[in-house]
Chain A
Amino acid sequence: MVGPIYIIAVALGTAFSLGFFKKANVKFSFAFMLLAMTFMTFISGQWLYAFLTQQQETIQIFTAGFKPPFSISLQMGFYEAVFLSIINIVGLLSAIYMYDKLKEKGVQMMMVFVLLFMGLNVVVMTRDIFNLFVFLEIASIATAGLIILDKSANAISAGFKYIIATAIISGILLIGIIAVYYYAESLYINDIINSNLSFIKGGAVAVFLILIAIVLELKPFPANGWALDVYEAAHPGIGTIVSAASASAVIFVLTKILPIVGESGYYIIGIIGIITFLGSNLLGLKQNTTNRLLGYSSIGQIGLLLTIIGLTPYLGDKTLFIAFGVLISHALAKAGLFWLSGIINSKNIKGWAAIRRNPHLLVLMGTFIFALVGFPPFPSFFAKWELIMQLANNDKIIWLALILIGSFIEGVYLFRWFGYAIKGENQDLPEFKIQWNKIIPVIIFALGLYAIGYYYSTLTGSAASLNYIPLLFILFLYAIDFLPVYIKNTISIAGIGYYLYTIYPGLEEFNLIFALIFLAGGILTLLAGYTYKGKRQGFYPLVMMMFAGLLGLIEANTTLEFFFAWEIMTIGSYFLIIRGKKSMTHALSYMLFSVGGAYLILAGFGLAHIGQSSYSLDILANVQGYAPIIFTLLAVGFMTKTASIGLHIWLPGAHAEAESDVSPMVSAILLKAGVFGLIVLMLRMGAQSFGSFDIYYALAWIGAITAIMGNMMAAFQEDAKRLLAYSSVGFLGYALFGLALMSHLGWLAAVSLSVIHFMFKTLLFLAIGGVVMRVKTKEMYKMGGLIKKMPFTFISVLMGIIVISGVPPLTGFGGKWILYNAVLDKGWFLPAGAIFFAGIIAFLYCFRLIHTIFLGQLKDEHREVKEAPFWMLLPQYIILGVIMIFSAFPNSLLKPIGEVIMPYFSDGALEWQGQLAVSNFGYWNGELIMYIVGGIFVIVFAWLWFMNRNAQKVKQFNIGYSAERPSLPETTHFAYNFFAPYKKALGFLVSPIISDFWEAVSEGIHAIADKIRRIYDGNAQTYVLHIIAFIVIFYLIAFGGSYGI
């Protein structure tokens, strides 16, 4: 095996010999340098491999043949190997990436480049504290040397700030080192550790100085303006090195130093870390400059790492797992993003819209962004999961909360940026071309993230059972993305169908019901996909990702599986939503609510895990304290998906702007995930209250208010799909209310309403989607009279709205009837009154929907509109058939659901006598009602037909119009602001208080961020002042009350 010392030898040798090459021979020099970098990578990789596969012992290398402290010693252990591998791979790929720049600047730059990595390598390996200083300085100087080679004035002034700041920091470090030497009389780290300096009066200060200097090298908030400027101005390749390689090295140094400080150092590191994490991410909110934003994010991630290191005493042996997961995700993702930024060449994040010219680049960018925020299947996901679990287990609730808040804020700006990339405006976009040397490193890192993510999941004990088969299927679909739609559609349907077939025997109870909703619904909505022509790039992997997530929820047995599936589903649905038109802001708010909700769920699972050894979902059934809080956290988390009032503002836009066949997926199917979550939660946790305050009663009210507000807002929409979206909000309010009743009938109502909602909302969204496809507008008042052009669609919508409104004889009434009985059983009358009020308000939007689109006056432009495509109609009519069966034979739907609920709630179950349902209060015979109503209808119709069989058909303007006649369909169609008087009377109820509230929160935070970031005034002296102030403040914190850190 090649000794690690050769890394230094090779690097130095290369750097010197490069000087002999002539400038003309730049290509050769580059190859030479690359060879050296490869060799360095090879050495570190070789050691890593040895540590991983063989029982390799940690080795010490003594220079000059003496043992320390009389010589400088290097150490090569497992961790060193890991860090060196990361650093050297980053270095190698950076070199490839920066080929143009290196070639342009010639051998000088190559020399500096190699020296920089030599410095970082030694920094990792050395066990001598002064040697550490020297090589840190070499690295700093080399970095500054790289920056100065840039032409732009900004880069140079940033470099100047950088070198001033690092010089001051190294001065502090030097003082610290000499002081430590004074007390410990050794520069060998192991000796210093043994001398327990923290307990000596001056020694503590000495150690503090070293510690703070190393921390300052990590650019803690707010003493980091100098680094931000470098990130912003320097070549992205340099940004990568500073962010990924240098930071990794210094983090490693910190872990080396910490034993010197002793236990008490962790505390201060933790505080610095969390402040950095929160502060840096907060300020990131206001950034529009790509590289500066990445800088803030980098610093934030390092802050998180510091926090994790600071929390070591609580995380125990998981620390390494967590820290490394965060670090590797950060290093790879940040490097990837910096490199991408070099390809796209857009200073402003809005310019990133250019990236979508190449969808594969978009996939890469997405990979990095999701890895940074901590989505599965990336290592950061598992790390974050472990972190939260451990923190909860140790009762570190505040830390847990702060970390989640910080992560959330990071998600905000990262996803905003990503949103611009996918959906930003298409104007004045920078041109870019992709060079192979630039793209290959990016691809390698993206693949690396997946690979390490997979590897990580095998390390997480409880993640071993994660089901990767659906994800492989997604990968397969991505691979065949070049095929036409109908092939991919067929494959997708077959895939879902086959999967359903395989898992069907194992399903029972609620899992079965929801599996059918998710998967059968998936098949139905996918049928509509045959309508589309061409390739529909990227659609199918995303759809499958959402369904894979939904499936995962069904199959989940552990909290980790559940959360994993939840996040996968979120990713899939996010992309589906953002595919729609004008969907940027909606997708962002969807994502933010989802991420926020997911963090609440994570926190809930974490708290539930306290004192438990298993991760089974059943731990929710016997949580050890915090029960109401856990319940609330999880319930609110799930309610972000069911879009309960207050958390609903993402929904209307997201659903309305989605494509025709995506809307039913996200509205009819996806929302049920929240319901499923609530069911899982409530079944296990049972009744919960804060003292005497019953949480379920609050949920019932939330459900009721959601229903009223959702329905009322639906009534005031002009946009058909928005109307349907709000209708979903309202309907899930009923479901929530039903669940909150916690009785047999309540659950029967909730579950059957969920099933019914799935059916009619799919029906309606497909029908309206078909209309929108034909008339190319969603504004209802621009349509009208389409019944004559699209009669089949009309029938769908007609049946759909009859079901929504709950009018007998169709199946919607069943839900209403059960709900009535449930309420009487339970005794919550006031929220019940509100629920039924909401039910009546549903009439408003139902009528509006069908009237303004299908009835009234046909418009000029639509005189030649055709019926919706066959493949849109087919699923609708399948659903219609099922609805009719359920309507005539309600027990075919309700009885099985009732049996599922029976084991949990047996009181007050319905008694079935054929199709006659009997409750404690009343009875209902759906079949008979169908016959009676049908019979009367037929008789009356026959009578009318007999009387008026030869009625004269007239056209749309043949109306009694006060002796005048209409002149334009537009002015005759009463549609715009249809419920104007109602709005006048009750419109104040739907004034956008909630969106105003969220907007105010968002604006407030942004304003604060904007104020705070003014401390970075761009002056090197200010930055130095920050550094000094930082030292002083943390000195006071460390030595404030007591003596010693």
Chain B
Amino acid sequence: MEKFNLENISLVIGILVILIGLWGLLTQKNLIKIIIGFALFDTGIHIVMVSIGYIKNGTAPILDNAVDINNAANAVVDPVPQALVLTAIVIGLGITALMLTYVLKMYQKRKSLEINNYNDLKW
């Protein structure tokens, strides 16, 4: 049952969330739902990132008494992905916010949240 350990489960879940997000993004016609799809996609990526950085049985990457300084590299989970995730979350937030702003503006212009109403530019 090696495969059903924590990081693999979270990895699979992460990928599933990514796919669900993509599915939502591609199939929903409501702008808000599309953005939710994107948020799921983003979150999925974050989960994947964290699970990649996880080291089995590792502890939080804080150098305190719980960790032997000499063996820190093996005892803690990799701190970098966690740092990256933080940044990624911030950026994701920014993007989501911007998307919502866009939707707001679009709704003000056309009073519609239907994505098919915004196909004027094409070809």
Q: Within 8 Å by CB, do A and B touch in the complex? A: yes
The residues of B that contact A286 with a CB separation of less than 8 Å are 123
Q: Which of A919-937 contact B (CB under 8 A)?
A: none
Q: Would you give the shortest CB distance from A311 to chain B, in whole angstroms?
A: 31
Q: Are B45 and A1021 neighbours in the complex by a CB distance under 8 Å?
A: no
Q: Are B48 and A1018 neighbours in the complex by a CB distance under 8 Å?
A: no
Q: Are A1020 and B34 neighbours in the complex by a CB distance under 8 Å?
A: yes
Cα distance A134–B92 when bound, in Å? Answer: 10
Interface string of A212-241 (1 = CB under 8 A from B): 000000000000010011001100000000
Q: Are A175 and B22 neighbours in the complex by a CB distance under 8 Å?
A: no
The residues of B that contact A164 with a CB separation of less than 8 Å are 25, 34, 38, 99
Q: Which of B81, B95, B109, B119 contacts A163 (CB 8 A)?
A: B95
Q: Which of A145, A181, A229, A1024 contacts B121 (CB 8 A)?
A: A229
Interface string of B81-119 (1 = CB under 8 A from A): 100100110010011001101110110011000011011
The residues of A that contact B42 with a CB separation of less than 8 Å are 167, 171
Given A157-B120, A157-B121, A171-B41, verify A163-B52 contact (CB < 8 Å): no
A251 within 8 A of B: no
Cα distance A1024–B91 when bound, in Å? Answer: 20
Given A130-B87, A167-B95, verify A1019-B116 contact (CB < 8 Å): yes
Cα distance A144–B96 when bound, in Å? Answer: 12
Cα distance A163–B99 when bound, in Å? Answer: 7
Q: Are B52 and A182 neighbours in the complex by a CB distance under 8 Å?
A: yes
Q: Are B45 and A1017 neighbours in the complex by a CB distance under 8 Å?
A: no
B9 within 8 A of A: no
B76 within 8 A of A: no
Given A130-B87, A134-B91, A163-B95, verify A175-B25 contact (CB < 8 Å): no
Interface string of A1002-1017 (1 = CB under 8 A from B): 0000000000011011
Q: Are A1016 and B122 neighbours in the complex by a CB distance under 8 Å?
A: yes
**Chain B, Cβ-Cβ closest to A155:** B121
The residues of B that contact A31 with a CB separation of less than 8 Å are none
Q: Are B88 and A174 neighbours in the complex by a CB distance under 8 Å?
A: yes
Q: Which of A430-456 contact B (CB under 8 A)?
A: none
Interface string of A232-272 (1 = CB under 8 A from B): 11000000000000000000000000000000000000000
The residues of A that contact B95 with a CB separation of less than 8 Å are 137, 141, 163, 167, 170
A156 within 8 A of B: yes
Q: Which of A163-196 contact B (CB under 8 A)?
A: 163-164, 167-168, 170-171, 174-175, 177-179, 181-182, 187
Q: For the side of the interface on B, what is the size category?
A: 35 or more
A1025 within 8 A of B: yes
Cα distance A1025–B23 when bound, in Å? Answer: 10
**Chain B, Cβ-Cβ closest to A1014:** B123
Q: Are A175 and B48 neighbours in the complex by a CB distance under 8 Å?
A: yes
Given A153-B110, A1014-B123, A1019-B119, verify A168-B84 contact (CB < 8 Å): no
Cα distance A187–B84 when bound, in Å? Answer: 11
Q: Which of B50-93 contact A (CB under 8 A)?
A: 52-53, 80-81, 84, 87-88, 91
B26 within 8 A of A: yes
A159 within 8 A of B: yes
**Chain A, Cβ-Cβ closest to B121:** A229
Q: Are A1028 and B22 neighbours in the complex by a CB distance under 8 Å?
A: yes
A158 within 8 A of B: yes
Q: Are A1018 and B119 neighbours in the complex by a CB distance under 8 Å?
A: yes
**Chain A, Cβ-Cβ closest to B117:** A157
Q: Are B122 and A1018 neighbours in the complex by a CB distance under 8 Å?
A: yes
A148 within 8 A of B: yes
The residues of B that contact A1025 with a CB separation of less than 8 Å are 26
The residues of A that contact B106 with a CB separation of less than 8 Å are 153, 156-157, 160
Cα distance A141–B93 when bound, in Å? Answer: 11
Q: Are B109 and A1021 neighbours in the complex by a CB distance under 8 Å?
A: no
A58 within 8 A of B: no
Cα distance A990–B22 when bound, in Å? Answer: 61
Given A167-B38, A181-B52, A1019-B116, verify A232-B26 contact (CB < 8 Å): no
Q: Are A156 and B25 neighbours in the complex by a CB distance under 8 Å?
A: no
Given A130-B87, A158-B121, verify A148-B26 contact (CB < 8 Å): no
> Binding site of B, secondary structure by majority: helix, strand, loop or mixed?
helix
A614 within 8 A of B: no
Cα distance A295–B109 when bound, in Å? Answer: 25
Q: Which of A157, A178, A225, A1018 contacts B84 (CB 8 A)?
A: A178
Q: Are B26 and A137 neighbours in the complex by a CB distance under 8 Å?
A: no
Cα distance A171–B115 when bound, in Å? Answer: 22
Which of A160, A177, A286 counts the most B-chain CB atoms under 10 A from its CB? A160
Q: Would you give the shortest CB distance from A139 to chain B, in whole angstroms?
A: 12
Q: Are B105 and A148 neighbours in the complex by a CB distance under 8 Å?
A: yes
Q: Are B123 and A1024 neighbours in the complex by a CB distance under 8 Å?
A: no
Q: Are B102 and A168 neighbours in the complex by a CB distance under 8 Å?
A: no
Q: Are A134 and B87 neighbours in the complex by a CB distance under 8 Å?
A: yes
Q: Are A167 and B99 neighbours in the complex by a CB distance under 8 Å?
A: yes
Q: Would you give the shortest CB distance from B121 to chain A, in whole angstroms?
A: 4
A154 within 8 A of B: yes
The residues of A that contact B98 with a CB separation of less than 8 Å are 141, 144-145, 148, 163
Cα distance A117–B97 when bound, in Å? Answer: 21
Q: Would you give the shortest CB distance from B112 to chain A, in whole angstroms?
A: 11
The residues of A that contact B49 with a CB separation of less than 8 Å are 174, 178
Cα distance A893–B94 when bound, in Å? Answer: 82
Q: Are B122 and A1021 neighbours in the complex by a CB distance under 8 Å?
A: no
Q: Would you give the shortest CB distance from A126 to chain B, in whole angstroms?
A: 14
Given A175-B45, A1021-B26, verify A181-B80 contact (CB < 8 Å): yes
The residues of B that contact A182 with a CB separation of less than 8 Å are 52-53
Q: Which of A158, A168, A187, A1017 contacts B80 (CB 8 A)?
A: A187
Cα distance A270–B91 when bound, in Å? Answer: 32
**Chain B, Cβ-Cβ closest to A130:** B84
Q: Are A179 and B52 neighbours in the complex by a CB distance under 8 Å?
A: yes
The residues of B that contact A178 with a CB separation of less than 8 Å are 45, 48-49, 52-53, 81, 84
Cα distance A123–B53 when bound, in Å? Answer: 25
Cα distance A227–B95 when bound, in Å? Answer: 17
**Chain A, Cβ-Cβ closest to B52:** A182
Given A141-B98, A1028-B22, verify A160-B87 contact (CB < 8 Å): no
Q: Which of B20-48 contact A (CB under 8 A)?
A: 22, 25-27, 31, 34, 38, 41-42, 45, 48
The residues of A that contact B94 with a CB separation of less than 8 Å are 137, 141
Given A134-B91, A168-B25, A187-B80, verify A1018-B120 contact (CB < 8 Å): yes
Q: Would you give the shortest CB distance from A323 to chain B, in whole angstroms?
A: 30
Given A157-B121, A175-B45, A175-B48, verify A1021-B115 contact (CB < 8 Å): yes
The residues of B that contact A1028 with a CB separation of less than 8 Å are 22, 26
The residues of A that contact B34 with a CB separation of less than 8 Å are 164, 1020-1021
Q: Are B41 and A163 neighbours in the complex by a CB distance under 8 Å?
A: no
**Chain B, Cβ-Cβ closest to A230:** B121
Cα distance A187–B94 when bound, in Å? Answer: 23
Cα distance A1025–B120 when bound, in Å? Answer: 18
Cα distance A802–B109 when bound, in Å? Answer: 74
Given A134-B91, A175-B45, verify A160-B102 contact (CB < 8 Å): yes
The residues of A that contact B121 with a CB separation of less than 8 Å are 154, 157-158, 228-229, 232-233, 1018
Given A163-B95, A167-B99, A178-B52, verify A156-B109 contact (CB < 8 Å): yes
The residues of A that contact B84 with a CB separation of less than 8 Å are 130, 177-178, 181
The residues of B that contact A145 with a CB separation of less than 8 Å are 98
Task: Return 8 A-B CB contacts under 8 Å, by A number.
Answer: A130-B84, A156-B102, A181-B52, A181-B81, A187-B80, A1020-B118, A1021-B26, A1024-B25
Known: A137-B91, A177-B84, A286-B123. 20 other contacts (CB 8 A): A141-B98, A157-B121, A158-B121, A160-B102, A160-B118, A164-B34, A167-B95, A171-B45, A178-B45, A178-B49, A181-B80, A181-B84, A182-B52, A1014-B123, A1016-B122, A1018-B119, A1018-B120, A1019-B115, A1020-B115, A1028-B26
Closest 5 CB pairs of A and B: A1018-B122, A1018-B119, A157-B118, A153-B109, A229-B121
Interface residues of B (CB under 8 A from A): 18, 22, 25-27, 31, 34, 38, 41-42, 45, 48-49, 52-53, 80-81, 84, 87-88, 91, 94-95, 98-99, 101-103, 105-106, 109-110, 115-116, 118-123
